[in-house]
Amino acid sequence: MRQNSRFSSPAGFNEYCYEDSYAQDFVLSSISNYFYKCGFDKLKIPTLEHQKFFSSEYVGTHPWPNFHPKSLFAVTARDYNKAYEDVDSMEGKYFLIPEGTTSLCRWVSSKIEACDSRFKNGKPVKLFYTSNCFRNELVSTLSDTKLREFVQIGAEYLGIGSIKADIEIIQLLINSLVKIGLESESIIVRVNDVRLFRFLAEKSKLNVNKQNAVKNHLDNIASFRAQNKKKLLSTELARIDKYLHEINISSRLIKKWKILYNGYLSSEDIKNKLKGFPQEALADLYLLTKYFENLGMKVVIDTSVTRSQEYYNKLTFQADVHIGKGIVSEIAGGGRYDYFVNKIMGKSLVKPILFATGFAFSLERIMKILKTNSLLGNRNILNTLYNNDFDYVVFSQDLMNASKVAETLRVLDLRVDNYIASDRIEKAKEYANSLEAELLTVG
């Protein structure tokens, strides 16, 4: 996805203007407004984050699929005091944030340390954020939905450890997409519980490196299956079979591993196909999927969804959207991370300081869905945004009168341009026609 013009932005960093810019703003404001109506408060997080919070101590050795340490943009900033000649000032090491949850949890930790009464277990706290994020992806892998600068829209439900909070957060995800014009039946949420993976990893005596290798296979399987890439899925299934045999997993345990990556499950499959797995995890999955089945929403069990991040301790999930005959996969992902605040605060992991569950949207993937829907002629937000961009063009040789009329119309929530490029009315008409707007001549 390299851009060849000498005036192009760096690869993976895009400019947006006209319809694209307005549409992004409208989507962000629509989803943010819905989050607000659901009781979530907005947190604005900084672009820089301390490097230590993205070390293996906090986010593990495998924070997202196919992670590489060089995929983080490192920034060194010296904290000057009273003058820039102050050579004794401290030097801070930061990353441009690759995701928003870590910074949100670091901020929450500061509030807990300050004994803020709003952050105590048993008392729900709902937060959301919209933030530019940065990952130094390989240039050869870049696409319109995989950039080095991208936007996350995240929602986090803190303080409640019950599966009911996970249900609410998934319902928030689905309803948010419906609010911007998607059909509920086009949205599929694939859910899993990492306790199933950890149970088998422990039984199989996998070290961290082997666990990460299996996670990569599972993440690839989940992705290929969601995108209906049958050849790639078949290849990846063969690879994980081969890998499990190579690391000398017993045939009995391999059969259990196969359950995790051989297809989607319904709530009823839990009783027959997942026997022997941790009962608390199965009970949560059953309650959650049964709830959404009763609502008629498409929430399925996909036990290959590990989500990689080691701070997840229970539920994990990803959302896909079907558009026409195609699929945009993983437009959102999330899960439960009850012990992440403990890690940031350096506390014991015996009992969570603050229960937490949440998810984040990819704005770029939402935009791809809306644009594709628009091309297919489906009703969605972009059809409204792109029509009648300008209502009026005001023309007058008296600039003061023209400005007064234009402002009067803008108060009525109309979009109005004041034409001053020429004193000739023919030019004003030509300009108004180019905008598909009505020309208003003021004496």
Place of tokens 């994020």: 133
Report pLDDT for 110: 95
Report pLDDT for 374: 73
Report pLDDT for 156: 97
> What residues in the chain have per-residue pLDDT under 50?
1
Report pLDDT for 384: 64
Q: For the domain made up of 18-382, give the CATH fold.
A: BirA Bifunctional Protein; domain 2 (3.30.930)
Q: Which residues contact 21 (CB under 8 A, 6 or more apart)?
A: none
Amino acid (one-letter) located at 26? F
Report pLDDT for 87: 67
CA distance 104 to 315: 19
CA distance 343 to 56: 11
Place of tokens 């009525």: 412
Report pLDDT for 308: 64
Nearest to 226 by CA among 152, 176, 298: 298
> Token digits for 337?
């991370």
304: left (phi over 0), alpha (psi -120 to 50) or beta: alpha
- Per-residue pLDDT tens for 174-196? 999 999 989 999 999 999 999 99
- For the chain, the residue count is 443
Nearest to 361 by CA among 41, 44, 99, 185: 99
Burial per residue of 263-281, b for 16 or more beta-carbon CB atoms within 10 angstroms, e otherwise: eebebebbeeebeebeeeb
Q: Give CA separation, 177 vs 27, 163, 336, in Å.
A: 10, 22, 21
Whether the CB-CB separation of 233 and 191 falls below 8 Å is answered with no
CA distance 40 to 405: 40
